[in-house]
Amino acid sequence: EAGVAQSPRYKIIEKRQSVAFWCNPISGHATLYWYQQILGQGPKLLIQFQNNGVVDDSQLPKDRFSAERLKGVDSTLKIQPAKLEDSAVYLCASSQEREGSNEQFFGPGTRLTVL
């Protein structure tokens, strides 16, 4: 079974530029998560999709971040314009649809550096 795929693995941009990340979850996983992980901290949920609907985006900075999951499969996270403090690893995870039991499987992540 293929795992969660993410691309690109690394990205370096200058502040005020835009960037997009792509994620393809494990086949059959209805729930998809985007996390931001800053060095030394735990993953912080940005947005959670169930199929193609948003379950939680309370911590997504909506003035600059956007995400979509068309057709309930793969997803794209965009930052526009980027700030220095957006430098982090962006993790995508997926899980089966099961309330109270969210065993999540993570992709390799995208390391973003904003200069």
Binding-site ranges for another protein (CB under 8 A): 31, 33, 35, 40-45, 48, 50, 55-56, 89, 91, 99-109
Q: Which residue has the tokens 């065993």?
A: 103
Nearer to another protein by C-beta: 61 or 108? 108
Q: Which residue has the tokens 């030394």?
A: 40
Nearest 5°: phi and psi at 40? 85, 0
CA distance 85 to 66: 17
Nearer to another protein by C-beta: 20 or 89? 89
Nearer to another protein by C-beta: 38 or 115? 38
